Amino acid sequence: MNTRSNLWKAALSCAASVLTSHAATLQLDHPFGEPDAPPAGPVPWLTVTTTSSVPNVVIIEFMTTNLTGGEFVSEWFMNLDPAMDVTQLSFTLQNQTGAFILPTIGQATNGFKADGDGFFDIRLTFDTSGTNEHRFTAGDSVRYTVSGPGLLASSFTFLSAPDGGDGPFYSAAHVNGTGAGGLESRWIAAVPEPSSALLLIAGAGLLGRRRRRG
């Protein structure tokens, strides 16, 4: 009986953890701006995920999902819920995969423009000098713990402020080293259409939902 009781308690604890955990994923698969060659690999070329299981803390991971060869990211832009103050967010490195130089992180409400798109609240600026050992390139990823008042996994799934002919987008990035000889570059983004940019919000309501039978 004790063993069964302990197993039941463990199951309830696990279920509670799942029900309070939330995640969001944005896939950057839409080229925009100047008509240079996009990345050569399959879409999505880049992916950013946010997860949260405790209040005011989010794990955010940036991944070069399908970059190939010498392609690398020079800038990556994100948005924040406009009801929140982006300057109150604190970024702490959790881990990185790859030998690239860590990016500088800029935080300012509508403070950063992504080429022909609008304005974003967060910009990661990666090193572009030297060889790919310094660059955020194929196979690399970086994960941060982000804390701030009222922060949720879904707090980063907001569209850029309009300005220009492209967008609005959930996220945008500049990929260098594309095209013949790696001499071109292309802007790419996560777009609002669910068929192009998969914005996945997982939570208890989705897990527990059942279809009604007629």
CA 61/CA 200 separation, integer angstroms = 15
Residue 199 reports pLDDT greater than 70: no
Tell me, yes or no, if the pTM score tops 0.85. Answer: no
Q: Where are the domains of the chain?
A: 22-208
Q: What is the pLDDT of residue 142?
A: 98
- The pLDDT tens digits for 16-71 are 333 346 999 999 999 999 899 999 999 999 999 999 999 999 999 999 999 999 99
- The pLDDT tens digits for 137-189 are 999 999 999 999 999 999 999 999 999 889 999 999 999 999 999 999 999 99
CA 31/CA 40 separation, integer angstroms = 12
- The pLDDT tens digits for 111-135 are 999 999 999 999 999 999 988 889 9
CA 201/CA 154 separation, integer angstroms = 7
* Biggest distance spanned by C-alpha atoms of the chain: 68
End-to-end CA distance of the chain: 41
CA 199/CA 79 separation, integer angstroms = 14
CA 69/CA 39 separation, integer angstroms = 10
Contact 144, 133 (CB under 8 A): no
Q: What share of the chain is helix, strand, coil (3-state, %, to 5)?
A: 15, 40, 45
Assigned CATH topology for domain 22-208? Immunoglobulin-like (2.60.40)
